[in-house]
Amino acid sequence: MSERKCVSYRVLVGLEIHVQLSTRTKMFTGVVNASGALKAGDTPPEPNTAVDEQVLGLPGVLPVMNKRAVEYAIKTGLALGCKIARFTKWDRKSYYYPDLPKNYQISQYDLPLCYDGIFELITEKGIKKVRIRRAHLEEDAGKLLHEAPGGYPIEGSIVDLNRAGTPLLEIVTEPDFDSPASVSAFAQELQRLVQYLGVSEGQMQLGHMRFEPNINVHITDQNGQVHKTAITEIKNLNSFSVLEKATDYEVRRQIREWEETGSLGRKSTYGWDELKQETFHQRDKEEAHDYRYFPDPDLMPVEVTEEWLTELKNQVGELPSARRERYIRALGLSPTDAAALASDKSTGDFFEQIVSAGVPAKRASTLMEALREMSNERVRKVTELGVTPDHLARIGQLIESGQLAASKEVTRKILDTILNEAAGLATPEQIVQTAQKLGLIQTTDTTAIDAAIEAVLASNPKPLQDYRSGKQTALGALVGMVMKSAKGMNAKLVQERLKQKLG
Amino acid sequence: MSQSFATLVEVRNAIASKQISAVELTRQVLQRIESLDPVLHCYNEVWADRALQVAKEVDQGQRQGELAGVPIALKDNLCTRYGRTTCSSRMLANFKAPYDATVVRKLESAGAVIVGKTNLDEFAMGSSTENSAFGPTRNPWDTDRVPGGSSGGSAAALAASFCYGSIGSDTGGSIRQPASLCGLVGLKPTYGRISRYGLVAFASSLDQIGPFAWTVSDAALLLKVMSGHDPKDSTSAPMDVPDYVSSVDRPVEGLRIGIVKEYQSLPGLDPQVRSAIEQAIRTYEKLGARIVEVSLPNSAYGIAAYYVIAPCEASSNLARYDGVHYGHRTKEPVNDIVELFSKSRAEGFGDEVKRRIMIGTYALSSGYYDAYYVRAQKVRALIKRDFDHAFGFCDVILTPTSPMPAFRIGEKSSDPLSMYLCDIFTVTCNIAALPGISLPCGFTQDAKPLPIGMQLLAPAFGESTLLRVARMFEQATDFHTRRPVLG
C-alpha cells in the first residue's frame, strides 16, 4: 500500500485558445485567407496556392496590417468583457521552424489588444466568472507535413504555407476552471460567441479553434497536508471532447504520479495521443525558447480611437451576456433557458419576435426548444429551417387559448408536417389547418366536456369511490379516462370541470 | 568612344531632343562597362540585352517619362523580377525575386534604362564594399582604394561613368559615405520618404533608399521620381511629394548653418578633410550664410546605439535565410533540421554578417534586452531631441561626411571597430530619421587626388531645403565637374 494518499484534491486549469479569424484576406497581406475564411463543407485549396511574396517571407517584403482583423479581435475582446488597449503595437517573436517562413512570428508581446476581462459562464451550478488575462492578435504558421496528403509516405518533410499568415487571436484565461467539464463548457461557449459575433467560422474540424489547457492539482493527503503539482500544458487540442478527456487524464496522471512516486512533476509540455487515449511528455519548460521579442519596425503602432471603439461597440450590439441577463430579469426565464436563447444572435432575435407577437416568454422559450431539436436533427440553423416566428407565434396563441396541448410533441408534429408538406412556404393560417388535419385541435366546449365526464363517471364507479375516500391519484386516472373517451379535449379544462363535479 | 554628357539631366535632354538615341547611349555605357569593369567590379550583373531592349522602346516612343532613356544602376539589394538579387551574399547568389521593388517600378515607369545590379557589402553591412562574397569594388579615383560602402558598387559605377545615376540604400551612411569617397552627390532621404518595399531589409527602422548623382539637380530629379507613399510599406509617409527639381535653384534666404560643437575636437579627423570643411564653411559665409554653433550632446553615443539597434533588427531580418525555402542550402549531410539551418547559414553568410547576427541575437536575448536594446532606444530618443533643439537655431547642419578620404583596400578589413568609426558623422542622421546629403567639397593633395565630401542635415522632410542649400554651394564651386581618369 502506498504511504501517500490523495484524500481530496482541487483542480486548477487555465486555458489558451487560438481562434482563426474569418477575414477575407490574411493578417498582413492581401492574399485570400484560405484557412480562417473556410466554411463548413468548403474544399480547402491545393497546398501552397494561397500564398504571395509576403506569406513566403521573401527578401524585401513588408507586412501591411489587416484592419478588419483588428476589428474582429476587438469585438471578441469586448464580448469577453476585456479592456481594449488604446495604444498597442506589433512584436516579433523569434524561433526557427520550417513552417514559419520568416523564422519570426508577428505577434503582440507586452501590450495585447485586449486584456483584463471577466466572462460569465453559465454552468449547472450557476454563473461562473472566468477571468481573461489577455487576447492578442498574431499570424498563424504554416503546416509541416511528414506524409503526403492522403497519407502516402514521403522522404523528408513538406511544408504547406496556405495557413501561414492567417489572423489568429490568442485568448488566455486565468486558471479559473475547477473541472475538465467546465473547461469544455467554456470552450463551447467561446465557439458560440465567435460565431455570434461573426468573427470566426469556429469550425473545429477545420482547425479554427485550438486549445491548450494548463493544468495542476492541489492534493490534500491523509494528514491534511496540501501538495501542489507542477503546471503542465497540453498542446494543440482541437475538439471539445478531446479537450475534456485530455484534461481529465492529465489531472489523474498528476495525482497518480504523486501517489506512486511522491513527485510533483516539472513544468512541462504534453501532447495527446488519440490512439492510446493518454497524454505524453513532449519537453520540459526549462528547455523553452528565448523568443527574443522586440517591436516590429515594419509596422506602425495601432491607436484605437474613441470613435473607432464606439463604432465597434455598436456593431457588436447587445452581447449574449447582456441579452441573457435581460431574459432572466425582464422576461423571467431560467438561466439555462436564457443562455440557450441568447448564445446565438439569430436564435435570440427569432425568440423575441415570438414574444412580441403576444406569446408569454416562458411559452415562447418552450416552443424554441422544439425548434432547436429540429435544428440539431436537420443540421441547419434555427433561422434556416423554413419556419418563421409567425408560425411559432400562432402555435403559442393556440396553446394559450387552450386549443392546443402545451406539449413539445404536439408542436413538433405540426412543424414537421408543415416543413415536409409546404417546405417553408406555409402561412401562419396553415398552422391552424395543419393542426386540425392532424386532429390536434382541442375542444374547449364545456358542454361536450361535461357530457364526456358524466359518461365516464357513470361507467367507472371504482375510481370515483377511491377519490371520494381520499385517494388523490384517482383524479388523474379519471382525467385520463375522460380524455380517452373522446379525442381532442383540453386536459386542463377536463381536470377543472371534473374537480368541480366531484367538488 | 564619346562621353560628352556631364550630367543625368543633360543626357535626358539630349535623348528627348534626339541629339543621341537611347540605344546609342546605352551601347556606349555597356562598352565602357565591358572594357573597364573587370578592374573596378562595380556590377554584380549587367543587363545588356534588356537595357538595349528598353532603350529601343524609349527611342520608339513606347516608354516615356522624366528619366526616359537614362542609364541607371541599382544596388543589388533591390528586388527585381529580371535577373538576380544577391545582396552580394553567397546565401542569395542565385536568388531571383518574383517581384519588383516599388522604386524599381517607379524608375522604370519614368523611362529609366536599368543597366545592372551593383556590388555592395554583403547585406549592406560595411563601409568599404570589401565584405562582398563576390570580391571588392575599386575606387575609380584610385583603384588601390575602396569606394566606401555599403553602396560602393553604385557609387563607383557612377564615378566611372558606367551609368548616369545610381540607386543605393543607407542604413548608417551607406549612400553618403561612398558618395563622399567617390566625389558624388549622395542623398539619404527622410525615413518614410521612399518606399522600402523590395529593398532587402538590413535594419528596418534605419534603412532608406536614395540616389547617387553628379549634381544636386540630378539627385533632386531621382528623388522626385522615387518618393511617395506606398500602400505596401506602412512606414512610408502619407505625404505629398514637393517638386524638388523646380525649387532647387532657389537659394535659401537668410540661411543659418549649424556647426556641431562636439565635432570640433573629435580625434581621428583627417587634417585634409578638416581643412576642406573649413573652406566649405567660408564659402557659405561668402554666400551670406550665418554660421551658428549648435550642440548635439548625445551624438557621442550614436555609434554605440547604432551598433546595437542595427544588429538587433538584422539578426531578426536575416533569420529567414535558413536554406529551407530558398537561398543557399548546405550540401553536407545533416541529421536534423537544426543542423540544416546552422550549416546552411554558416556556409551562406560572411564574417561581418555573422558578427552582426551574433551581436543582435545576444542583445535581444532575455536578460540583456533592457541593457542593450531598450537603452539604445532611449539614446535614440535623446539624439532625436538634440536635433529638434539644434534645428531651432539653424536651417541645416554641416559636418564632414567621412572622417577620412578613401582608404586602401585591406587597410581596415581586419579591424571592425575602426571600420565602424567611418560612420561616426552619418549614423545619427539615420537614428533620428532625418534627411542627409553628401556633396563634394574638395580633393586631397595625393598624386591621385581623392575626393572629400561634406554632409548637410535638415529636419525631417526638409529635402527641398537640403537640396537648395547644397545647390548654393555647387554653384559657387567646381568640385562636381571633376571626373576620375580611367584606363
B338 touches chain A (CB under 8 A): yes
Q: What is the ipTM of this complex?
A: 0.96
Write down the pLDDT at residue A438.
83
Per residue in A437-473, is it b (16+ CB within 10 Å) or e — as a string?
eeebbbbeeeeebeebbeebbeebeebeebbeeeeee
Do A60 and B79 count as a contact with CB atoms less than 8 A apart?
Answer: yes
Question: Which of B364, B365, B378 best tests the A interface by mutation, with the highest count of A CBs <10 A?
Answer: B364
In a domain, A415, yes or no: yes
> CA-CA distance, A75 to A313, in Å (whole number)?
7
In a domain, A122, yes or no: yes
What DSSP string describes B260-289? EGGGTT-TT--HHHHHHHHHHHHHHHHTTP
Cis upstream peptide for B315 (omega within 30°):
no
Within 8 A of B233 by CB-CB distance, chain A residues are 62, 64
Write down the pLDDT at residue A450.
82
Write down the pLDDT at residue A1.
47
Do A59 and B320 count as a contact with CB atoms less than 8 A apart?
Answer: yes
Which of A15, A127, A134 has its CA nearest to residue A76?
Answer: A134
Local structure of A132: helix, strand or coil: strand
Together in a domain, A216 and A77: yes
Together in a domain, A262 and A353: no
> CA-CA distance, A92 to A260, in Å (whole number)?
43
Q: Which residues contact B200 (CB under 8 A, 6 or more apart)?
A: A59, A60, B77, B78, B79, B85, B87, B92, B123, B124
Distances (CA, A) of B306 to B206, B273, B329: 9, 24, 31
A63 touches chain B (CB under 8 A): yes
Together in a domain, A293 and A390: no
In a domain, A116, yes or no: yes
In a domain, A133, yes or no: yes
Could you say which of B132, B174, B402, B438 is catalytic? B174
Q: pTM of this prediction? A: 0.88
Is residue B150 among the annotated active site residues?
Answer: yes
- Check if the beta carbon of residue B323 is closer than 8 Å to that of residue B345: yes
Together in a domain, A107 and A39: yes
Q: Residues of B numbered 288-317 whose beta carbons fall under 8 angstroms of chain A's beta carbons: which are they?
A: 312-313, 315-316
In a domain, A119, yes or no: yes
> CA-CA distance, B81 to B87, in Å (whole number)?
15
Where chain A has pLDDT below 50, the residues are 1
Is residue B247 among the annotated active site residues?
Answer: no
What is the CATH number for A469?
1.10.10
Together in a domain, A367 and A432: yes
> CA-CA distance, A388 to B227, in Å (whole number)?
59
Residue in B92, B101, B325 nearest the CB of A101:
B325
Together in a domain, A79 and A150: yes
Write down the pLDDT at residue B268.
85
- Check if the beta carbon of residue B159 is closer than 8 Å to that of residue B30: no
In a domain, A311, yes or no: no
B346 touches chain A (CB under 8 A): no
> CA-CA distance, B117 to B69, in Å (whole number)?
17
Write down the pLDDT at residue B1.
40
Cell numbers describing residue B10: 543633360
Within 8 A of B325 by CB-CB distance, chain A residues are 56-57, 101, 159
Do B319 and A104 count as a contact with CB atoms less than 8 A apart?
Answer: yes
In a domain, A269, yes or no: yes
Together in a domain, A184 and A74: yes
Local structure of A179: helix, strand or coil: coil
In a domain, A308, yes or no: no
B85 touches chain A (CB under 8 A): yes
Which of A437, A454, A473 lies at the terminal end of a domain, its last residue?
A: A437
Together in a domain, A458 and A369: no
- Check if the beta carbon of residue B155 is closer than 8 Å to that of residue B173: no
Which of A303, A336, A351 lies at the terminal end of a domain, its last residue?
A: A303
Within 8 A of A92 by CB-CB distance, chain B residues are 316
> CA-CA distance, B101 to B75, in Å (whole number)?
12
Supply the angle between the helices B22-40 and B8-16 in degrees, to the nearest 10.
150
What DSSP string describes B393-412? T-SEEEEESSSSSPPBTTSS
- Check if the beta carbon of residue A440 is closer than 8 Å to that of residue A405: yes
Write down the pLDDT at residue B2.
47
Separation in Å, CA of A30 to nearest CA in chain B: 10
Q: HSE (CB half, 13 Å, CA atoms) of B289?
A: 28
E strand residue ranges, B30-79: 43-46, 71-75
Distance of CA B364 to the CA centre of its chain: 27
Which of B222, B141, B156, B235 has its CA nearest to residue B187?
Answer: B222
Split into its structural domains, chain A has a count of 3
3-state DSSP of A236-291 = CECCHHHHHHHHHHHHHHHHHHHHHHCCCCCCEEEEEECCCCEEEEEEEHHHCCCC
Write down the pLDDT at residue A287.
60
Together in a domain, A401 and A296: no
Cell numbers describing residue A313: 461597440
- Check if the beta carbon of residue B146 is closer than 8 Å to that of residue B422: no
> CA-CA distance, B296 to B266, in Å (whole number)?
13
Q: Which amino acid is residue B327, in one-letter code?
A: G
Within 8 A of A292 by CB-CB distance, chain B residues are 315-316, 361, 364-366, 369
Within 8 A of A159 by CB-CB distance, chain B residues are 324-325
Which of A260, A275, A303 lies at the terminal end of a domain, its last residue?
A: A303
3-state DSSP of A187-201 = HHHHHHHHHHHCCCC
Local structure of B114: helix, strand or coil: strand
Together in a domain, A336 and A431: yes
Q: Which residues contact A394 (CB under 8 A, 6 or more apart)?
A: A428, A429, A431, A432
Query: CA dihedral defined by A375, A380, A385, A388, rounded to 10 degrees?
Result: 70
Domain range spanning residue A493? 446-502
Strand partners, A228: A218
- Check if the beta carbon of residue B261 is closer than 8 Å to that of residue B293: yes
- Check if the beta carbon of residue B176 is closer than 8 Å to that of residue B426: yes
For A244-299, the pLDDT digits (tens) are 999 999 999 999 999 999 999 999 999 999 999 999 999 887 666 799 999 999 99
Together in a domain, A251 and A359: no
Strand partners, A106: A92
Alpha helices in A386-502 (DSSP H): 389-400, 408-422, 428-437, 446-459, 461-468, 473-485, 491-502
pLDDT in tens, chain B (487 residues): 445 678 999 999 999 999 999 999 999 999 999 999 999 999 999 999 999 999 999 999 999 999 999 999 999 999 999 999 999 999 999 999 999 999 999 999 999 999 999 999 999 999 999 999 999 999 999 999 999 999 999 999 999 999 999 999 999 999 999 999 999 999 999 999 999 999 999 999 999 999 999 999 999 999 999 999 999 999 999 999 999 999 999 999 999 999 999 999 888 899 999 999 999 999 999 999 999 999 999 999 999 999 999 999 999 999 999 999 999 999 999 999 999 999 999 999 999 999 999 999 999 999 999 999 999 999 999 999 999 999 999 999 999 999 999 999 999 988 888 888 889 999 999 999 999 999 999 999 999 999 999 999 999 999 999 999 999 999 999 999 999 998 6
Q: Residues of B numbered 202-221 whose beta carbons fall under 8 angstroms of chain A's beta carbons: which are they?
A: 203-205
Local structure of A379: helix, strand or coil: coil
Together in a domain, A88 and A122: yes
- Check if the beta carbon of residue A68 is closer than 8 Å to that of residue A24: yes
